[in-house]
Structure 1
Protein backbone atom coordinates (compact mmCIF):
# COMPACT_ATOMS: atom_id res chain seq x y z
CA UNK A 1 0.00 0.00 0.00
CA UNK A 2 1.14 3.52 -0.73
CA UNK A 3 -0.23 7.00 -1.23
CA UNK A 4 -0.58 8.00 2.41
CA UNK A 5 1.14 11.30 1.62
CA UNK A 6 -1.75 12.12 -0.72
CA UNK A 7 -4.30 11.15 1.94
CA UNK A 8 -2.60 13.49 4.39
CA UNK A 9 -2.75 16.32 1.86
CA UNK A 10 -6.47 15.68 1.42
CA UNK A 11 -6.89 15.66 5.19
CA UNK A 12 -5.00 18.95 5.59
CA UNK A 13 -7.19 20.64 2.99
CA UNK A 14 -10.37 19.36 4.62
CA UNK A 15 -9.23 20.48 8.07
CA UNK A 16 -8.73 23.99 6.70
CA UNK A 17 -12.22 24.04 5.20
CA UNK A 18 -14.21 21.95 7.70
CA UNK A 19 -12.28 21.31 10.92
CA UNK A 20 -13.00 18.05 12.77
CA UNK A 21 -15.65 16.98 10.28
CA UNK A 22 -14.34 14.37 7.80
CA UNK A 23 -12.64 11.31 9.30
CA UNK A 24 -9.52 9.65 7.94
CA UNK A 25 -11.61 6.47 7.61
CA UNK A 26 -13.99 8.25 5.22
CA UNK A 27 -11.12 9.83 3.29
CA UNK A 28 -9.48 6.45 2.70
CA UNK A 29 -12.79 4.95 1.53
CA UNK A 30 -13.40 7.88 -0.84
CA UNK A 31 -9.84 7.90 -2.20
CA UNK A 32 -10.02 4.14 -2.86
CA UNK A 33 -13.21 4.66 -4.87
CA UNK A 34 -11.76 7.60 -6.79
CA UNK A 35 -8.47 5.85 -7.57
CA UNK A 36 -10.36 2.98 -9.20
CA UNK A 37 -13.01 5.16 -10.86
CA UNK A 38 -10.86 7.87 -12.43
CA UNK A 39 -10.15 5.95 -15.63
CA UNK A 40 -13.89 5.57 -16.30
CA UNK A 41 -14.86 9.20 -15.81
CA UNK A 42 -17.59 8.27 -13.34
CA UNK A 43 -17.90 6.82 -9.86
CA UNK A 44 -18.19 3.04 -9.88
CA UNK A 45 -19.94 3.00 -6.50
CA UNK A 46 -21.33 5.32 -3.88
CA UNK A 47 -19.36 5.64 -0.67
CA UNK A 48 -21.54 5.91 2.41
CA UNK A 49 -19.86 8.42 4.73
CA UNK A 50 -20.10 9.17 8.43
CA UNK A 51 -17.39 6.86 9.78
CA UNK A 52 -15.44 7.89 12.85
CA UNK A 53 -11.76 7.18 13.42
CA UNK A 54 -10.58 4.83 16.13
CA UNK A 55 -8.82 6.24 19.18
CA UNK A 56 -5.67 4.23 18.47
CA UNK A 57 -3.94 2.62 15.49
CA UNK A 58 -2.04 -0.62 16.01
CA UNK A 59 -0.32 -2.07 12.97
CA UNK A 60 -0.54 -5.63 14.29
CA UNK A 61 -4.34 -5.39 14.45
CA UNK A 62 -4.45 -4.53 10.75
CA UNK A 63 -2.10 -7.39 9.87
CA UNK A 64 -4.11 -9.83 11.97
CA UNK A 65 -7.17 -9.02 9.86
CA UNK A 66 -5.43 -9.48 6.50
CA UNK A 67 -5.36 -12.99 4.98
CA UNK A 68 -1.91 -14.40 4.28
CA UNK A 69 -0.66 -14.20 0.67
CA UNK A 70 -0.03 -17.94 1.04
CA UNK A 71 -3.59 -18.71 2.19
CA UNK A 72 -5.57 -21.63 0.79
CA UNK A 73 -9.10 -21.10 -0.48
CA UNK A 74 -10.47 -22.66 2.69
CA UNK A 75 -8.46 -20.18 4.79
CA UNK A 76 -9.62 -17.24 2.67
CA UNK A 77 -13.28 -18.27 2.74
CA UNK A 78 -13.15 -18.64 6.53
CA UNK A 79 -11.48 -15.26 6.95
CA UNK A 80 -14.04 -13.53 4.74
CA UNK A 81 -16.92 -15.34 6.46
CA UNK A 82 -15.80 -13.94 9.81
CA UNK A 83 -16.33 -10.46 8.34
CA UNK A 84 -19.75 -11.27 6.90
CA UNK A 85 -18.45 -11.72 3.35
CA UNK A 86 -19.21 -14.75 1.16
CA UNK A 87 -17.34 -16.63 -1.57
CA UNK A 88 -18.64 -14.30 -4.27
CA UNK A 89 -17.32 -11.30 -2.32
CA UNK A 90 -13.98 -13.10 -2.01
CA UNK A 91 -13.65 -13.64 -5.75
CA UNK A 92 -14.88 -10.17 -6.65
CA UNK A 93 -12.68 -8.29 -4.18
CA UNK A 94 -9.65 -10.38 -5.16
CA UNK A 95 -10.04 -8.77 -8.58
CA UNK A 96 -8.49 -5.62 -7.10
CA UNK A 97 -5.20 -7.46 -7.70
CA UNK A 98 -5.56 -6.53 -11.35
CA UNK A 99 -3.48 -3.48 -10.39
CA UNK A 100 -0.67 -2.99 -7.89
CA UNK A 101 2.51 -4.75 -6.93
CA UNK A 102 3.50 -7.76 -4.83
CA UNK A 103 6.81 -7.88 -2.91
CA UNK A 104 9.12 -10.65 -4.08
CA UNK A 105 9.24 -11.88 -0.48
CA UNK A 106 5.55 -12.87 -0.69
CA UNK A 107 6.13 -15.22 -3.62
CA UNK A 108 9.58 -16.60 -2.81
CA UNK A 109 8.24 -19.97 -1.64
CA UNK A 110 6.35 -20.36 -4.94
CA UNK A 111 9.56 -20.00 -6.89
CA UNK A 112 12.31 -21.59 -4.80
CA UNK A 113 13.71 -24.09 -4.18
CA UNK A 114 11.08 -25.81 -6.34
CA UNK A 115 8.63 -24.01 -8.60
CA UNK A 116 4.99 -24.27 -7.53
CA UNK A 117 3.45 -26.74 -10.04
CA UNK A 118 0.23 -24.66 -10.13
CA UNK A 119 2.18 -21.79 -11.75
CA UNK A 120 2.61 -21.51 -15.50
CA UNK A 121 6.28 -22.40 -15.91
CA UNK A 122 7.10 -19.58 -18.32
CA UNK A 123 5.44 -17.06 -15.99
CA UNK A 124 7.32 -18.53 -13.03
CA UNK A 125 10.63 -18.08 -14.84
CA UNK A 126 9.82 -14.44 -15.59
CA UNK A 127 9.01 -13.84 -11.91
CA UNK A 128 12.28 -15.49 -10.89
CA UNK A 129 14.21 -13.31 -13.30
CA UNK A 130 12.64 -10.13 -11.98
CA UNK A 131 13.23 -11.01 -8.34
CA UNK A 132 16.76 -12.35 -8.91
CA UNK A 133 17.60 -9.13 -10.72
CA UNK A 134 17.13 -7.31 -7.44
CA UNK A 135 13.68 -5.97 -8.17
CA UNK A 136 11.74 -5.78 -4.92
CA UNK A 137 8.24 -5.92 -6.41
CA UNK A 138 6.48 -7.58 -9.32
CA UNK A 139 3.35 -6.33 -11.03
CA UNK A 140 0.02 -8.05 -10.43
CA UNK A 141 -1.30 -7.36 -13.89
CA UNK A 142 -2.34 -4.47 -16.08
CA UNK A 143 -1.85 -0.71 -15.55
CA UNK A 144 -5.63 -0.17 -15.73
CA UNK A 145 -8.45 -1.50 -13.58
CA UNK A 146 -10.09 -4.30 -15.55
CA UNK A 147 -11.00 -7.99 -15.38
CA UNK A 148 -7.72 -9.33 -16.77
CA UNK A 149 -6.85 -10.67 -13.33
CA UNK A 150 -9.31 -13.53 -13.90
CA UNK A 151 -7.90 -14.41 -17.32
CA UNK A 152 -4.47 -14.50 -15.74
CA UNK A 153 -5.74 -16.85 -13.04
CA UNK A 154 -7.19 -19.25 -15.59
CA UNK A 155 -3.82 -19.22 -17.39
CA UNK A 156 -2.18 -20.16 -14.06
CA UNK A 157 -0.51 -16.79 -13.79
CA UNK A 158 -1.84 -15.73 -10.42
CA UNK A 159 1.04 -14.01 -8.64
CA UNK A 160 0.18 -14.95 -5.04
CA UNK A 161 -0.59 -18.40 -3.72
CA UNK A 162 -3.84 -16.92 -2.40
CA UNK A 163 -4.71 -15.78 -5.95
CA UNK A 164 -4.19 -19.26 -7.36
CA UNK A 165 -6.32 -20.72 -4.58
CA UNK A 166 -9.47 -19.25 -6.18
CA UNK A 167 -9.26 -22.14 -8.64
CA UNK A 168 -9.37 -24.76 -5.85
CA UNK A 169 -13.10 -24.46 -5.21
CA UNK A 170 -15.66 -25.55 -7.86
CA UNK A 171 -18.03 -22.65 -7.19
CA UNK A 172 -15.17 -20.16 -7.17
CA UNK A 173 -13.67 -21.57 -10.37
CA UNK A 174 -17.02 -21.15 -12.14
CA UNK A 175 -17.27 -17.53 -10.98
CA UNK A 176 -13.68 -16.79 -12.09
CA UNK A 177 -14.65 -18.01 -15.57
CA UNK A 178 -17.71 -15.75 -15.68
CA UNK A 179 -15.72 -12.73 -14.50
CA UNK A 180 -12.97 -13.34 -17.05
CA UNK A 181 -15.56 -13.00 -19.84
CA UNK A 182 -17.49 -10.02 -18.51
CA UNK A 183 -15.73 -6.80 -17.54
CA UNK A 184 -19.01 -4.93 -16.99
CA UNK A 185 -20.19 -7.71 -14.69
CA UNK A 186 -16.95 -7.50 -12.72
CA UNK A 187 -17.06 -3.71 -12.36
CA UNK A 188 -20.71 -3.67 -11.27
CA UNK A 189 -20.21 -6.39 -8.69
CA UNK A 190 -16.90 -4.94 -7.50
CA UNK A 191 -18.63 -1.71 -6.57
CA UNK A 192 -21.32 -3.59 -4.65
CA UNK A 193 -18.71 -5.68 -2.81
CA UNK A 194 -16.71 -2.56 -1.90
CA UNK A 195 -19.84 -1.00 -0.42
CA UNK A 196 -20.41 -4.15 1.61
CA UNK A 197 -16.82 -4.28 2.82
CA UNK A 198 -16.92 -0.56 3.60
CA UNK A 199 -19.55 -1.25 6.24
CA UNK A 200 -17.46 -3.70 8.27
CA UNK A 201 -16.54 -2.57 11.78
CA UNK A 202 -17.61 1.03 11.24
CA UNK A 203 -17.41 3.38 14.22
CA UNK A 204 -20.14 6.02 14.46
CA UNK A 205 -21.40 8.53 16.99
CA UNK A 206 -19.47 8.56 20.25
CA UNK A 207 -17.62 5.31 19.49
CA UNK A 208 -14.76 7.17 17.84
CA UNK A 209 -13.59 10.62 16.84
CA UNK A 210 -12.13 12.63 13.97
CA UNK A 211 -8.37 12.84 13.75
CA UNK A 212 -6.59 16.09 13.07
CA UNK A 213 -4.24 14.17 10.75
CA UNK A 214 -4.18 10.65 9.41
CA UNK A 215 -0.80 9.64 10.83
CA UNK A 216 -1.16 10.81 14.42
CA UNK A 217 -3.72 9.73 16.99
CA UNK A 218 -4.89 13.08 18.34
CA UNK A 219 -8.65 13.52 18.09
CA UNK A 220 -10.88 16.53 17.78
CA UNK A 221 -14.37 16.35 19.25
Structure 2
Protein backbone atom coordinates (compact mmCIF):
# COMPACT_ATOMS: atom_id res chain seq x y z
CA UNK A 1 0.00 0.00 0.00
CA UNK A 2 1.29 3.47 -0.82
CA UNK A 3 0.20 7.07 -1.02
CA UNK A 4 -1.65 7.79 -4.23
CA UNK A 5 1.01 8.26 -6.89
CA UNK A 6 0.86 10.34 -10.03
CA UNK A 7 1.23 7.15 -12.06
CA UNK A 8 -1.88 5.70 -10.45
CA UNK A 9 -3.70 8.97 -10.99
CA UNK A 10 -2.89 9.02 -14.69
CA UNK A 11 -3.84 5.37 -15.09
CA UNK A 12 -7.12 5.99 -13.31
CA UNK A 13 -7.90 9.00 -15.47
CA UNK A 14 -7.27 6.96 -18.60
CA UNK A 15 -9.77 4.38 -17.37
CA UNK A 16 -12.28 7.15 -16.77
CA UNK A 17 -11.76 8.61 -20.21
CA UNK A 18 -12.27 5.18 -21.71
CA UNK A 19 -15.64 5.04 -20.00
CA UNK A 20 -14.90 1.87 -18.04
CA UNK A 21 -17.97 1.17 -15.91
CA UNK A 22 -17.92 -0.79 -12.70
CA UNK A 23 -20.09 -3.80 -12.06
CA UNK A 24 -21.23 -2.79 -8.59
CA UNK A 25 -24.64 -3.95 -7.45
CA UNK A 26 -25.75 -2.13 -4.34
CA UNK A 27 -28.19 -3.82 -2.00
CA UNK A 28 -29.29 -3.65 1.61
CA UNK A 29 -27.67 -6.26 3.82
CA UNK A 30 -24.77 -6.57 1.40
CA UNK A 31 -22.41 -7.98 4.05
CA UNK A 32 -24.89 -10.32 5.74
CA UNK A 33 -23.03 -13.38 4.47
CA UNK A 34 -19.46 -12.12 4.19
CA UNK A 35 -19.11 -9.85 7.25
CA UNK A 36 -22.20 -9.97 9.42
CA UNK A 37 -20.81 -7.52 11.97
CA UNK A 38 -19.93 -4.85 9.40
CA UNK A 39 -22.72 -2.36 10.07
CA UNK A 40 -22.71 -2.88 13.83
CA UNK A 41 -18.97 -2.21 13.99
CA UNK A 42 -19.37 1.05 12.07
CA UNK A 43 -22.24 2.11 14.32
CA UNK A 44 -20.22 1.32 17.44
CA UNK A 45 -17.37 3.54 16.25
CA UNK A 46 -19.74 6.38 15.34
CA UNK A 47 -21.44 6.15 18.72
CA UNK A 48 -18.10 6.19 20.57
CA UNK A 49 -17.00 9.22 18.53
CA UNK A 50 -20.29 10.98 19.27
CA UNK A 51 -19.93 10.28 22.99
CA UNK A 52 -16.56 12.04 22.88
CA UNK A 53 -17.52 14.86 20.48
CA UNK A 54 -21.10 15.92 19.84
CA UNK A 55 -20.04 17.69 16.62
CA UNK A 56 -18.78 14.56 14.84
CA UNK A 57 -22.11 13.50 13.22
CA UNK A 58 -22.22 16.68 11.16
CA UNK A 59 -18.65 16.04 10.02
CA UNK A 60 -19.35 12.46 8.94
CA UNK A 61 -22.47 13.41 6.97
CA UNK A 62 -20.50 16.17 5.25
CA UNK A 63 -17.63 13.80 4.51
CA UNK A 64 -20.01 11.40 2.75
CA UNK A 65 -21.60 14.27 0.78
CA UNK A 66 -18.24 15.60 -0.38
CA UNK A 67 -17.19 12.10 -1.39
CA UNK A 68 -20.31 11.36 -3.43
CA UNK A 69 -20.33 14.65 -5.35
CA UNK A 70 -16.85 14.01 -6.75
CA UNK A 71 -16.84 11.02 -9.11
CA UNK A 72 -19.49 9.17 -7.13
CA UNK A 73 -19.43 7.52 -3.69
CA UNK A 74 -16.09 5.74 -3.94
CA UNK A 75 -14.22 6.80 -0.80
CA UNK A 76 -11.85 8.92 -2.89
CA UNK A 77 -12.14 11.83 -0.45
CA UNK A 78 -10.30 9.66 2.09
CA UNK A 79 -7.21 9.15 -0.09
CA UNK A 80 -3.88 10.90 0.34
CA UNK A 81 -1.66 11.81 -2.62
CA UNK A 82 2.13 11.77 -2.75
CA UNK A 83 2.10 15.32 -4.15
CA UNK A 84 -0.41 16.65 -1.60
CA UNK A 85 -3.04 17.27 -4.26
CA UNK A 86 -5.77 14.73 -3.45
CA UNK A 87 -9.43 15.73 -3.06
CA UNK A 88 -8.98 16.35 0.65
CA UNK A 89 -6.37 19.00 -0.18
CA UNK A 90 -8.77 21.09 -2.29
CA UNK A 91 -10.04 24.32 -0.75
CA UNK A 92 -13.65 23.14 -0.25
CA UNK A 93 -12.38 20.07 1.62
CA UNK A 94 -9.78 21.57 3.92
CA UNK A 95 -12.27 21.79 6.79
CA UNK A 96 -13.49 18.18 6.47
CA UNK A 97 -13.24 16.10 9.64
CA UNK A 98 -14.00 12.58 10.80
CA UNK A 99 -11.31 10.67 8.93
CA UNK A 100 -10.12 9.01 12.13
CA UNK A 101 -13.59 7.55 12.79
CA UNK A 102 -13.49 5.83 9.39
CA UNK A 103 -9.92 4.65 10.08
CA UNK A 104 -10.92 3.06 13.38
CA UNK A 105 -13.91 1.29 11.86
CA UNK A 106 -11.78 0.07 8.97
CA UNK A 107 -9.10 -1.32 11.29
CA UNK A 108 -11.69 -3.32 13.22
CA UNK A 109 -13.31 -4.56 10.02
CA UNK A 110 -9.98 -5.68 8.57
CA UNK A 111 -9.37 -7.67 11.74
CA UNK A 112 -12.83 -9.24 11.55
CA UNK A 113 -13.28 -9.65 7.77
CA UNK A 114 -10.09 -9.02 5.84
CA UNK A 115 -10.35 -7.15 2.51
CA UNK A 116 -14.14 -7.36 2.49
CA UNK A 117 -15.79 -4.07 3.52
CA UNK A 118 -15.01 -1.05 1.36
CA UNK A 119 -14.11 2.34 2.78
CA UNK A 120 -16.87 3.86 0.65
CA UNK A 121 -19.45 1.64 2.35
CA UNK A 122 -18.04 2.46 5.79
CA UNK A 123 -18.48 6.14 4.98
CA UNK A 124 -22.08 5.61 3.82
CA UNK A 125 -22.94 3.63 6.95
CA UNK A 126 -21.23 6.21 9.17
CA UNK A 127 -23.33 9.01 7.66
CA UNK A 128 -26.50 7.00 8.31
CA UNK A 129 -25.39 6.21 11.85
CA UNK A 130 -24.71 9.89 12.48
CA UNK A 131 -28.43 10.49 11.99
CA UNK A 132 -29.15 7.49 14.19
CA UNK A 133 -27.19 8.76 17.19
CA UNK A 134 -28.55 12.30 16.83
CA UNK A 135 -32.18 11.19 16.69
CA UNK A 136 -31.95 8.58 19.41
CA UNK A 137 -32.48 5.62 17.12
CA UNK A 138 -33.92 6.60 13.72
CA UNK A 139 -32.36 4.12 11.32
CA UNK A 140 -32.80 3.38 7.63
CA UNK A 141 -31.42 0.75 5.29
CA UNK A 142 -28.30 1.75 3.39
CA UNK A 143 -27.40 -0.43 0.39
CA UNK A 144 -23.81 -1.68 0.37
CA UNK A 145 -21.47 -2.94 -2.31
CA UNK A 146 -19.55 0.19 -3.29
CA UNK A 147 -15.95 -0.20 -4.40
CA UNK A 148 -13.12 2.11 -3.41
CA UNK A 149 -11.83 4.42 -6.12
CA UNK A 150 -8.20 4.80 -7.08
CA UNK A 151 -8.38 8.38 -8.38
CA UNK A 152 -8.41 11.44 -6.13
CA UNK A 153 -7.35 14.88 -7.36
CA UNK A 154 -7.96 18.33 -5.93
CA UNK A 155 -8.86 19.55 -9.41
CA UNK A 156 -11.91 17.26 -9.47
CA UNK A 157 -13.83 19.09 -6.73
CA UNK A 158 -15.54 21.65 -8.94
CA UNK A 159 -18.80 19.71 -8.69
CA UNK A 160 -19.21 20.59 -5.00
CA UNK A 161 -22.01 23.16 -4.45
CA UNK A 162 -20.48 26.43 -3.18
CA UNK A 163 -21.84 27.98 0.03
CA UNK A 164 -21.79 31.39 -1.66
CA UNK A 165 -24.37 30.50 -4.33
CA UNK A 166 -27.64 32.40 -3.72
CA UNK A 167 -29.40 31.69 -7.04
CA UNK A 168 -31.60 28.64 -6.50
CA UNK A 169 -31.58 27.63 -10.18
CA UNK A 170 -27.80 27.72 -10.41
CA UNK A 171 -27.48 25.90 -7.10
CA UNK A 172 -29.89 23.20 -8.26
CA UNK A 173 -27.71 22.51 -11.30
CA UNK A 174 -25.03 21.04 -9.05
CA UNK A 175 -27.60 18.42 -8.00
CA UNK A 176 -29.38 17.81 -11.29
CA UNK A 177 -26.06 17.21 -13.04
CA UNK A 178 -25.67 14.28 -10.65
CA UNK A 179 -29.11 12.92 -11.40
CA UNK A 180 -30.56 14.30 -8.18
CA UNK A 181 -33.63 16.54 -8.09
CA UNK A 182 -34.48 20.01 -6.86
CA UNK A 183 -36.35 18.33 -4.02
CA UNK A 184 -33.26 16.29 -3.13
CA UNK A 185 -31.36 19.58 -2.86
CA UNK A 186 -33.92 21.04 -0.44
CA UNK A 187 -34.00 17.89 1.68
CA UNK A 188 -30.25 17.25 1.75
CA UNK A 189 -29.68 20.89 2.72
CA UNK A 190 -31.45 19.94 5.93
CA UNK A 191 -28.16 18.38 7.03
CA UNK A 192 -27.26 21.95 7.96
CA UNK A 193 -29.38 21.48 11.04
CA UNK A 194 -26.00 20.24 12.33
CA UNK A 195 -22.51 21.67 12.10
CA UNK A 196 -20.61 24.93 12.19
CA UNK A 197 -18.99 27.25 9.67
CA UNK A 198 -16.02 29.59 9.85
CA UNK A 199 -16.84 33.28 9.88
CA UNK A 200 -14.49 33.88 6.97
CA UNK A 201 -16.87 31.89 4.75
CA UNK A 202 -19.75 34.36 5.12
CA UNK A 203 -18.26 37.57 6.58
CA UNK A 204 -19.13 39.43 3.37
CA UNK A 205 -22.80 39.05 4.35
CA UNK A 206 -22.36 41.01 7.56
CA UNK A 207 -22.14 44.52 6.13
CA UNK A 208 -25.36 46.52 6.18
CA UNK A 209 -25.80 46.61 2.42
CA UNK A 210 -24.46 43.19 1.49
CA UNK A 211 -27.58 41.15 2.11
CA UNK A 212 -30.78 43.08 2.75
CA UNK A 213 -32.70 39.80 3.01
CA UNK A 214 -30.98 38.69 6.22
CA UNK A 215 -32.80 39.37 9.48
CA UNK A 216 -31.12 42.45 11.00
CA UNK A 217 -31.03 41.13 14.55
CA UNK A 218 -29.54 37.88 13.34
CA UNK A 219 -26.86 39.75 11.40
CA UNK A 220 -25.93 41.68 14.53
CA UNK A 221 -25.68 38.43 16.49
CA UNK A 222 -23.39 36.95 13.85
CA UNK A 223 -21.20 40.05 14.01
CA UNK A 224 -20.92 39.61 17.76
CA UNK A 225 -20.00 35.94 17.46
CA UNK A 226 -17.48 36.51 14.69
CA UNK A 227 -15.93 39.61 16.27
CA UNK A 228 -14.06 40.33 13.02
CA UNK A 229 -12.17 37.05 13.33
CA UNK A 230 -12.49 34.83 10.23
CA UNK A 231 -11.38 31.80 12.25
CA UNK A 232 -14.27 31.99 14.69
CA UNK A 233 -17.06 29.50 14.07
CA UNK A 234 -20.84 29.78 14.38
CA UNK A 235 -23.57 27.17 14.21
CA UNK A 236 -25.30 26.69 10.86
CA UNK A 237 -28.55 26.24 12.77
CA UNK A 238 -28.61 28.54 15.76
CA UNK A 239 -31.95 27.12 16.87
CA UNK A 240 -30.53 23.68 17.74
CA UNK A 241 -26.90 23.21 16.69
CA UNK A 242 -26.74 19.68 18.12
CA UNK A 243 -30.23 18.50 17.24
CA UNK A 244 -31.17 16.68 14.05
CA UNK A 245 -34.52 18.39 13.61
CA UNK A 246 -36.59 20.87 11.59
CA UNK A 247 -35.19 23.99 13.24
CA UNK A 248 -33.02 24.59 10.17
CA UNK A 249 -36.06 25.08 7.94
CA UNK A 250 -37.49 27.57 10.41
CA UNK A 251 -34.24 29.53 10.03
CA UNK A 252 -34.64 29.50 6.25
CA UNK A 253 -38.19 30.85 6.49
CA UNK A 254 -37.20 33.59 8.94
CA UNK A 255 -34.15 34.72 6.91
CA UNK A 256 -31.80 33.65 9.68
CA UNK A 257 -29.43 31.45 7.67
CA UNK A 258 -25.68 31.86 7.89
CA UNK A 259 -24.61 30.94 4.36
CA UNK A 260 -26.16 32.00 1.07
CA UNK A 261 -26.79 28.51 -0.28
CA UNK A 262 -29.24 28.06 2.62
CA UNK A 263 -30.85 31.43 2.00
CA UNK A 264 -31.34 30.24 -1.59
CA UNK A 265 -34.12 27.92 -0.44
CA UNK A 266 -36.51 30.76 0.43
CA UNK A 267 -37.68 31.78 -3.09
CA UNK A 268 -41.11 30.65 -4.44
CA UNK A 269 -39.62 27.67 -6.30
CA UNK A 270 -38.60 25.90 -3.09
CA UNK A 271 -40.28 27.68 -0.18
CA UNK A 272 -43.43 25.53 -0.26
CA UNK A 273 -41.34 22.39 0.26
CA UNK A 274 -39.38 24.14 3.01
CA UNK A 275 -42.67 24.92 4.79
CA UNK A 276 -43.77 21.29 4.45
CA UNK A 277 -40.58 19.98 6.02
CA UNK A 278 -40.59 22.62 8.75
CA UNK A 279 -44.11 21.62 9.76
CA UNK A 280 -43.57 17.85 9.88
CA UNK A 281 -40.53 16.35 11.66
CA UNK A 282 -41.22 12.78 10.55
CA UNK A 283 -41.63 13.92 6.95
CA UNK A 284 -38.20 15.51 7.18
CA UNK A 285 -36.43 12.47 8.62
CA UNK A 286 -38.09 10.09 6.13
CA UNK A 287 -37.37 12.41 3.19
CA UNK A 288 -33.78 12.89 4.33
CA UNK A 289 -33.20 9.15 4.59
CA UNK A 290 -34.55 8.58 1.07
CA UNK A 291 -32.47 11.43 -0.38
CA UNK A 292 -29.32 10.16 1.35
CA UNK A 293 -29.83 6.73 -0.19
CA UNK A 294 -30.27 8.28 -3.64
CA UNK A 295 -27.13 10.35 -3.16
CA UNK A 296 -25.30 7.27 -1.86
CA UNK A 297 -26.05 5.52 -5.15
CA UNK A 298 -24.03 8.02 -7.20
CA UNK A 299 -21.38 6.23 -9.26
CA UNK A 300 -18.25 7.24 -11.06
CA UNK A 301 -16.38 5.58 -13.93
CA UNK A 302 -13.52 4.31 -11.79
CA UNK A 303 -13.66 0.46 -11.57
CA UNK A 304 -12.29 0.44 -8.01
CA UNK A 305 -11.47 -2.26 -5.44
CA UNK A 306 -11.66 -2.78 -1.67
CA UNK A 307 -8.85 -0.92 0.10
CA UNK A 308 -7.09 -2.28 3.16
CA UNK A 309 -6.20 1.23 4.32
CA UNK A 310 -8.72 3.96 3.54
CA UNK A 311 -5.96 6.54 3.03
CA UNK A 312 -3.94 4.44 0.58
CA UNK A 313 -4.56 2.71 -2.72
CA UNK A 314 -3.61 -0.93 -3.06
CA UNK A 315 -0.56 -1.59 -5.20
TM-score (normalised: structure 1): 0.91
CA distance in 2, matches of 1:7, 1:178: 34
| Aligned residue among 47, 63, 86 for 2:181 | 86
Specify which of 15, 25, 48 is matched with residue 120 of structure 2. Answer: 25
1:38-69: CA deviations, max 9, x gaps?
Answer: 133434321100000101222332x3121110
Q: Which one of the candidate residues 42, 47, 67 is aligned to 2:142? A: 47
The DSSP-based 3-state class of the residue aligned with 2:255 is coil
Provide the secondary structure at the position in 2 that maps to 1:171.
Answer: helix
> 1 CA distance for matches of 2:134 and 2:150?
35
1:49 is paired with a residue whose SS is coil
CA contact (8 A) 1:103 1:136 kept: yes
1:150 deviates by 0.4
Q: Deviations over 1:14-53 (max 9, x none)?
A: 1111111111110110000001111334343211000001
Cα RMSD over matched residues? 1.7
CA-CA distance at 1:218 after TM superposition: 2.7
- For 1:92 and 1:86, how far apart are their aligned partners in 2? 10
Which residue of structure 1 aligns with residue 311 of structure 2?
215
Equivalents in 2 of 1:36, 1:133: separation in Å? 33
Q: Distance in 1 between matches of 2:290 and 2:226?
A: 36
1:172 equivalent in structure 2: 270
In the aligned structure 1, how far is the partner of 2:155 from the partner of 2:118?
A: 21
1:146 aligns with 2:242: no
Q: Residue 10 of structure 2 corresponds to which residue in structure 1?
A: none
Is the 8 Å Cα contact of residues 51 and 203 (structure 1) preserved in structure 2? no
Shift, 1:78, TM fit? 1.1
Q: 1:41 and 1:167 mapped to 2: Cα distance?
A: 30
Match of 1:183 in 2: 281
Shift in Å, 1:172: 0.5
Which residue matches 1:8? 103
Distance 2:114 2:245 in 1: 37
Q: Which residue of 1 aligns with 2:158?
A: 64
User: Is the Cα contact below 8 Å between 2:236 and 2:258 reproduced in 1?
Assistant: yes
CA distance in 2, matches of 1:75, 1:30: 30
The answer to whether the Cα contact below 8 Å between 1:23 and 1:211 also exists between their aligned partners in 2 is yes
Counting only pairs closer than 5 Å after superposition, residues 149-164 of structure 1 correspond to structure 2 as 149-164=248-263
Q: Is the 8 A contact 1:102 1:140 kept in 2?
A: yes
Other structure's SS at 1:102 match: strand
Kindly tell me: are residues 212 and 112 of structure 1, through their superposed partners in 2, closer, same or farther at Cα, counting changes over 3 Å?
farther
**Displacement, 1:133?**
5.8
Gaps of 5+ in 2: 1-95
